[in-house]
Every structure is written in structure tokens, then in C-alpha cells.
Chain A
Amino acid sequence: MKYVDEFRDGEVAKKLAAAIAAEVEPDRRYNFMEFCGGHTHAISRYGLPDLLPPGVRMIHGPGCPVCVLPIGRIDLTIGLALEQGAIVCTYADTLRIPASGGLSLMRAKARGGDIRMVYAVTDALRIARENPGREVVFFAIGFETTTPPTAVAIKLAEAEGLDNFSVLCCHVLTPSAIMNILESPEVRVLGTVPLDGFIGPAHVSTVIGSRPYEFFAEEYRKPVVIAGFEPLDVMQAILMLVRQVNAGRAVVENEFTRAVTPDGNRKAQDLVSEVFELRRSFEWRGLGEVPYSALRIRARYASFDAERRFGLAYRPVPDNKACECGAILRGLKKPRDCKLFGTVCTPESPMGSCMVSSEGACAAHYTYGRHRGASE
């Protein structure tokens, strides 16, 4: 496949692996967090750990939109479908996130909720047009990559006078989450999560650019390398991080120059700020309440805001006590450290959100990596 296979070339991978192995210092440990689920998926699917020297450890970060959605948000959405009779449209993996009362959107669908999987928010607009007598709610999730299309949809709906369409906005912000991890006591004080650098987001950075990460490099002395989602991108980024650590440098470098610029996509940014504003606080699964970490719809577009339209009140719901998703999302624990992993929590019946999406740390390890560390 042209323009894809080039970034998955096993021969180039071998050379990069050799370069990384040659440059790591034998007594040093390198702990890098890949923030994005896209990187987690690439690392697991292509078996990258086999190509890395033992001193390099990858920590899976919280950048999987499905994984960080708290139960309370799913409950709200299920309520819209089952109690308000709305048509709920959402992206695929969201359907399987476990919610209260043993429900998920998929199970709510089996109980009669009209819940539809869409590939793009424009499909939700189409459904709203086709069902003028019914409320159609788009359950909007994701980081900065999926936010601009939601903004476009709201503007289109306004222009068309599509008054049965609204959005339950759960869009979250990458820099706030990185900040939360860096500020967590485990990283800052206790040192239980040694973090020597970040692989910065690929698609998110095409929108926000590379500049927002400069603060982390400067203030927290953490190297950041923005990388694409192909396995060679990840290998190259690891090599760049190793070099920064060895040289005692902490700057933002961009491996993904074919798509990311320092300023990002200004048009998309303007669109987002026109339609959305910062929320004072937002609950993340695993991270808890994180100040100014998510967006809500501006008052000017209030009629498209499902929270206002249906008078929804958010009610936080604690995770299952034994579920370690929180600690895993913060890099404190590995999937195998969780008692539920692979026993009662599997991709077929996930207890925690990290087991839902193939980008989640637990699902990726279960599906692609559980031969590692298994008794031979």
C-alpha cells in the first residue's frame, strides 16, 4: 500500500532498533509515556517491544478518548435514549463502555434505545434531517482531533435550522491531561512514576500544533517528541527521546513534520473557539476532576447543547473498586497488575474502560501482547 508500507518497513525498523540499542546507556532506564491511544495501538499491533532494548519502557498514557470517559457521562447518554426517547448517535467503541447498572450503550440499544453508530458527525446530521419529528443527539467524544468536526456540525445545523439536533459535548483537551499527569504527586513528589519523556500526539497535534507542548518541556524538564501513528514514526521518536535524555536536553521535537506545524490548523482552532468554551472542570475516568480540561458549547449555540436542552445534571459514579483503570491511565500500574485483568475483565465483558477500545492499555495488551510474561 503506497504511502503506508513505507512507514511499516521491517528493514528500516531493524536499523532503527539497532540505533536505539547502540545509543541507550547500559545502566540507564528510559521511561517514556506515549500519550495517545493511537501510539499504544501501533506499539502493540506491530510488536514494538520486541525491537526495544530492555532499558526502554513504554508507559501507556490516557490519550484514548473512550478510556477517559467517566461512567456518569455514559449514564447521561443512556438516559437520553431510554428515558427521553432520543436517537443517540455516536462513534463505534463508545457503544461498549461499561456504565451503571450493568448497562452500556450497546445493552441500552438491546433494551429498545435508538442508538446508532456513525462514522462521522455528518451522519448524525443526516439522521436528524431524516427524522424531523424526533430528537437526535450526537454524543461527541474525543480530543482536539474530533472537536472541529463537531463544531462544523453545530454550525451546519444552525444554518439549516435543524432544530431537532443537539450535541452532548464531552470533548477533552490534551495539554490539560498531560499537565495533570505531570502535576500528580506520583510523578512530582513520590517518583513512583518515573517519566523521562513523552511521545506527543499525532493527529491532535495537526490541529493544535507543536507549540502547546513547549511549556512541558521547559517547565517540567521533560523531552517531548511529536510522532505519527505508524510504527516507524514511533521507533524514530523513541530514538529522538533517547538522544535528548542522553544529552540532558528537554525540548519539543517534531518527528511528524509531514503533518504537524508549530501553529497547527488555525482555521480549525478558530472554529472550535467560536463554538466551544472551556469548562471549569470535567471528570476524567482515572484522573478524576481535572480543571479546565474539557469544552462545552457556548451560550450562543445553547439550543444545540443537549445538556441545556434536556436539563441534564451530571452525577459522578465511582468505578468498580477493584478496577485499576485509574492507576493504569496515570502510568502507576500495568494492565497485568490489575486483579480483574483477563479474569472478569476481558474485551468481551469489560469492567473498566481501558479494556474497551483497542487503543486502551488493557485491551491492547490483552489482544496483542499477553504472550509476553505468560509462562511458556
Chain B
Amino acid sequence: MNAPDKGMIKPGYARALDIKHGRVDMSHGGGGRAMVQLITELFAKHLGNEYLAQGNDGTCLPAGQGRLVVSTDSHVVSPLFFPGGDIGSLSVHGTVNDVAVMGATPLYLTAGFILEEGFPLADLARIVESMAAAARAAGVQLVAGDTKVVEQGKGDGVYITTTGIGFLPEGVRLSGDQARPGDVLLVSGSIGDHGMAIMSKRENLSFDAPILSDSAALNGLIQAMLASGAAIRVMRDPTRGGLAATINEIAHQSGVGIHLDEAAIPIAPAVDAACELLGLDPLNIANEGKLIVVCAAEDADRLLAAMRGHPLGREAAAIGRVVADANRFVQMLTRFGGRRMVDWLSGEQLPRIC
């Protein structure tokens, strides 16, 4: 064995990243050793896999079966940690769901991090661990990433942009323009939980039962629904803008009207109360783990049973019907007995919540 070369750089770094007390500084985005260290000791440690390990400018992935589905989403939530989740798990769930509602099987994610100078590494580690856990649970792998650091005051701790890649089997065609008069509208569970979890944390509202975000990966539920054989026409996850925005999108894309029954829409009592207190409409509040589905009327019961058989769809309910309407209006029979429009939100009801 040869004596070690005196000129050789000692493998590893002199000092490990101080995750406990350290903070993000400008060097972590500078492209030098500090950045490599952050990537190695934090990101790769939790999120690493054979693809990430390729270590090239791009990642080479095997082609899958069927058509490619891609979706991208930026996450700027405040607070970063909220009851029921955090920006890390949210950034996985949000993008996995966008790919999954196409009917595709999500397999890969990429992630871009914009970190603010001064952000505690301990918090960053919590976020990355949470992302890793969410990705494992959803069965997806992080295959490429990027980190940038902005000066203090120019960011809000952490922003995460994720892109999801999945494969769509031949024969599956879910699209917002497929709803037809007579079809039935289903929702997979109670609405408004995510948005109100964030709002109640921001406004320091407390309830006997705290409101938890519904942030969850829906690909498992969706697989069970597709396997039921029901004729599903449209599938969406009603995130920003809530149920109202998503249903209006479907009405517009399909050129139909939609009639909702307010009494059938599941809403948790605490969410209802918080909305009342803050003067908000639960129909406009964001969800991060719910589905809106339009299916043929004759298949509604079968699909509903499949949804209720999955832990994330236990409270699934039929909430409305598709009708012919050249105005593409979404109307709702109120619990009070009158009828009203359900419109898109004007402006912003909740700033920056997902």
C-alpha cells in the first residue's frame, strides 16, 4: 500500500454542516464547495436515489409505458409549517396530485429550492425530511434538483417548485372538457380544510378540534377509482380558488352548466365556523387532498363505493349534476332553499396559501 500523497485533498469536508444551529448563507447558492456540501449532507442524504446519484447536468430516465404526463407547481405557503403538513410534504403532494388526476401513474419529481439567506438549516432539514417521507409514501423519486439562495428580506424562508412526471396508460382520457349533461359530480371528502388550517394558524384562531390540512397524495385513491371501471370523465384537485374555481373551470371547458346541492357538500364543522368568523366562503377555500370527479350517472354509485372504500375517500359524496346551459353557469341550491350562482373568486381571498 502506498503512503498517502501529501498533496491529496482530504476526502470529505473539514467540518460537517451544522444542521442544528447553522443558517443558510449566500455561499450555499454560490456554486462552490458550500453548495455541494449542502446538497450532499442535506438534500442527497434524504432524497438520494440512483437517478440523483448520476450527478450530471441532466438526469437520464428510463422510458415508461404509455404517454408522458408532466405538471409543475410552485409552493410559497406561509407559514411553512402548518397543522397537518408543511411546505415539504405539500410540494410533493401538490405535484403528484396534478399528475395523478390525469389518470397517470406519477413516478418522478424534480425540485427547485429558493432559500432565503439566514433561514435555519434545522428547519430546512425538517422540510427536506418531510419531502422525502411524502415522496416515499407516494411512490415517487426525486430525480433532479436545484438550489438558489436570495438575500435576506428577498424571500420568505423557502420557496419550492416541483415538477412531476408520470405515465398515462393508453385508453385513459380524463379531461376538463368531457363533462356532459346528465353526468354526476362527486367530491372525495370535506372541503376547505387546507386553507382554513393555514388561515387559523395565521390568525391565531383556536378551536376545540384543531383544523388540520388535508394535504395528501391522491394517487392511491385515484388508482382505486380507475380500477372500479366507472366511466370517469373529468378529475381535478380543487386547490387554489377551491371547489368554486374548479367547478367553474369544468363548466367552461365542457360548455355545460353545473347544479350543486349545498346540503350535500361535506364541510367539517370547525372549517364552517372558521369561515363564518372570517367572512369567507368555504367553496373558495383551497384543498390539497381532495378530488372533484365527473362521471356518468349510471356509474356514480359504483364510483362512490370505490372512493369510500379508500381511507382518503371515506367522506366522498355526490354533490351535483351537469346540465345543459349555454351560459355555463354554476348554480347552487342553498340549504336555505333558494338558488344562487357559484362564481370564481374575485381577486384574492387568501393571500399565498399553497
Q: Which residues of A are at the interface with B, using a C-beta cutoff of 8 A? A: 1, 4, 8-10, 13-14, 17, 44-51, 96, 106, 119, 231, 346-348, 363, 366-371, 374-376
A350: nearest residue on chain B (CB-CB)? B346
Given the known interface contacts A4-B276, A374-B327, A376-B325, the answer about A367 and B343 at a Cβ–Cβ threshold of 8 Å is yes
**Residue on A with the closest CB to B257?**
A371
CB within 8 A of B203: which of A9, A50, A119, A348? Answer: A119
Instruction: With CB as the reference atom, state the residue of chain B lying closest to A374.
Output: B327
Closest B-chain residue to A106, C-beta based? B347
CB distance B347 to A1 under 8 Å? no
| B-chain residues with CB within 8 Å of residue A371 when the two chains form the complex | 327, 329, 331, 339-341
Which DSSP category, helix, strand, loop or mixed, fits chain B's interface?
A: loop
Number of interface residues of B (CB under 8 A): 23
Answer yes or no: B337 CB below 8 A from chain A CBs. Answer: yes
8 A-B residue pairs with CB within 8 Å: A8-B336, A50-B339, A51-B338, A347-B347, A348-B347, A368-B343, A371-B327, A375-B327
The dominant DSSP class at the A interface is helix
The distance from the CB of A137 to the nearest CB of chain B, in whole angstroms, is 22
Interface centre among B333, B336, B339, B343 (most CB of A within 10 A): B336
Q: Confirm or deny: B15 has a beta carbon within 8 angstroms of a beta carbon on chain A.
A: no
Query: In the complex, what distance in Å separates the CA atom of A13 from the CA atom of B336?
Result: 7
Q: Is the CB of A47 within 8 A of B203?
A: no
Nearest B residue (CB) for A41 = B279
Q: Give A347 to B343 CA distance when docked, in angstroms.
A: 11
Q: Are B327 and A47 in contact (CB under 8 A)?
A: no
Across-interface contacts of B326 in A (CB, < 8 A): 375
Task: Give chain B residues whose Cβ lies under 8 Å from the Cβ of A50.
Answer: 337-339
Q: Which of B269, B333, B339, B346 contacts A348 (CB 8 A)?
A: B346
Q: Shortest distance in angstroms between B335's beta carbon and chain A's nearest beta carbon?
A: 5
Q: How far is the CA of A375 from the CA of B329 in the complex (A)?
A: 11
Residue B19 at the A interface, CB < 8 A?
no
Q: Across the two chains, which residue of chain B brings its CB closest to A117? A: B351
Which residues of B (214-260) have their CB < 8 Å from a CB of A? none
B273 contacts the other chain (CB 8 A): yes
Q: With the chains together, A163 CA to B339 CA distance in Å?
A: 51
- Determine whether the beta carbon of B340 is less than 8 Å from that of A10: no
- Interfacial chain B residues near A374, Cβ < 8 Å: 327, 329
Chain A contacts of B346 at CB under 8 A? Answer: 346-348, 363, 367
For B325, what are the chain A residues with a Cβ–Cβ distance below 8 Å? 376
Known contacts A47-B340, A366-B343, A368-B343: A8-B335 contact under CB 8 Å: yes
Identify the 6 closest CB pairs spanning chains A and B, nearest first.
A47-B338, A347-B346, A46-B336, A50-B338, A47-B340, A368-B340
A13 adjacent to B269 (CB under 8 Å): no
Alpha-carbon separation in the docked complex, A214 to B331 (Å)? 40
Question: Which residues of chain A are near B338, meaning CB under 8 Å?
Answer: 46-51
